[in-house]
Amino acid sequence: MGSSVTGPRELAIGRRRCRRITRHHAKTFFFASHCLPRAVRRHSYAVYGFCRWADNAVDEAADLADATRRLDHVRAVLALAYADDPAPSGVLAFRETLRDRAIPRQLFDDLLDGMAMDLTEDRYPDYPALDLYCYRVAGVVGLMMTHVFGYRDDCCLPHALALGRAMQLTNILRDIREDRERGRVYLPQDELARFGVSEEQLAEQRVDDSFRAFMRFQIDRARRAYAESEQGIPFLIGAASRLTVRVMGRLYGGILDEIERLDYDVLQTRAHVSTPRKLRLLADCQRETMSESWRRSWS
């Protein structure tokens, strides 16, 4: 991440770098983040910037040994971010966020443990095993972002976890083909067997009634998690934060709608939400958040 530096100029460089990483790799969040106040937006980019940099560092490894070395380096950078020593510009921006938002280090340790799972596990026997992975690679990000946004009551934290879980499940369903091409199947093996879906069928990109039934089951699970996550939104501080989280949930949830529109054929076509639909969903969320804020002001 560059040579060790200090000072306001280097901090500004680090902030811009985090913004560029988020804009390039997290397009849905970057779209939603424009609802946020500048300071909250900056901190959110720092969290996403670190998470994406860490993920890319491991994904770009040549082999398992290289990936293990890279993950060790990421852990060392995390330790530096929580220390007081001189650091590269990107780490300075990340450190600023960790301190301003008091984000527990354990959340990032759990995230890196999730990345380590990808080095040794490419199949999951059942949903509890997959859910642990989803918690580590996505649920904890929901908790991190809740610290960034600010919240009134700890009761919102399980709902933040639910949003992370829902988004990761959505990613998994959208990316079945791409993941399998990389040798990974992030689908519970026992549930595949229960619905009569084989890995050979996934490789052949064959969509039949069994596969559709399996996908409906998984989409229902993800939608229940999205519904659970919405219950935590009122506890976030600021209408802009509440709007951003609502937009993220609706945009990602929209991918499930697109999967259904494709008649569940994610094996040949990648589902995505069009820009016009994103704008419609944003407008709907704005109206809902404004109505919520109005009710809050008169309660």
| Helices (H) then strands (E): counts for the chain | 15, 2
The reported pTM is: 0.89
> In sequence order, what are the residues at sequence separation of 6 or more whose Cβ sits closer than 8 angstroms to the Cβ of residue 130?
124, 186, 187, 188
Q: pLDDT band for position 2 (50/70/90)?
A: very low
Q: Cα 223–235–293 angle (5° rounding)?
A: 95
Under 8 Å between Cβ of 177 and 164: no
Picking from 188-192, 220-224, 241-245, which range would have the lowest pLDDT averaged per residue?
A: 241-245
Under 8 Å between Cβ of 113 and 132: no
Q: Which domains does the chain have, with CATH numbers?
A: 1-104 (1.10.600.10), 121-293 (1.10.600.10)
Buried b (16+ CB within 10 A) or exposed e, 248-271: bbbbbbbbbebbeebebbbbeeeb
Residue 26 is classified by DSSP as -
Q: What is the mean pLDDT of residues 63-83?
A: 95
Under 8 Å between Cβ of 266 and 176: yes
